[in-house]
Amino acid sequence: MTSRRIDDHPILGASPNCREVTITVDGSPLLARDGDTIASALIAAGWTAFRHTEKRHEPRGVFCAIGKCTDCVMTVNGVPNVRTCIALVEDGMRVETQEGLGTWRVP
Ligand code: FES
């Protein structure tokens, strides 16, 4: 899949060279940039559904993008309900699509 990143913005200019980090999303490796939020890394890779609702199992993704609505929550390193629009990626991070309210999977 091609990246959805804007590498040369008409006003902001070229994006800086950033260190790459690898996160795992639903068991598959994904290259992200240091400084990405989890959501921005996923959107750049083409993801749109970050969780499914409890009652109707409808997909949800980024809505507010400022940490207020909880539409973007995912399970991160076994911890459910992490707002991915404000959580930064870390090398080796495990990110999982969340079903409903999520469950704790901390070893
Ligand atoms: S998109 Fe609203 S909290 Fe992340």
Q: Is residue 32 part of a domain?
A: yes
* Total domains in the fold of the chain: 1
CATH code, domain carrying 55: 3.10.20.440
Query: Does residue 26 fall inside a structural domain?
Result: yes
Q: Assess if residue 59 is contained within a domain.
A: yes
Q: How many C-beta atoms lie closer than 10 Å to residue 69's C-beta?
A: 14
> Does residue 2 lie in a domain region?
no
> Could you count the other beta carbons within 10 Å of the beta carbon of residue 97?
16
**Torsion 38-40-42-48 (CA) sign:** positive
Residue 44 lies in a domain: yes
User: Is the distance from the beta carbon of residue 101 to the nearest atom of ligand 1 less than 6 Å?
Assistant: no
- How far does the centroid of ligand 1 lie from the alpha carbon of residue 15, in Å? 24
Closest CA to ligand 1's atom 3: 67
What is the reported pTM? Answer: 0.91
Residue 91 belongs to some domain of the structure: yes
Q: What does each of the 107 residues of the chain score in pLDDT, given as a tens digit?
A: 567 888 899 999 998 888 999 999 999 999 999 999 999 999 999 999 999 999 999 999 999 999 999 999 999 999 999 999 999 999 999 999 999 999 887 76
Return the exposure string of 35-63: e unless at least 16 CB atoms fall within 10 Å of the residue's CB, then b: ebbbbbbbbbbebeebbeeeeeeeebbbe
Atom number in ligand 1 closest to CA 85: 4
Residue 18 is part of which domain span? 8-99
Asked if the structure places residue 105 within a domain, the reply is no
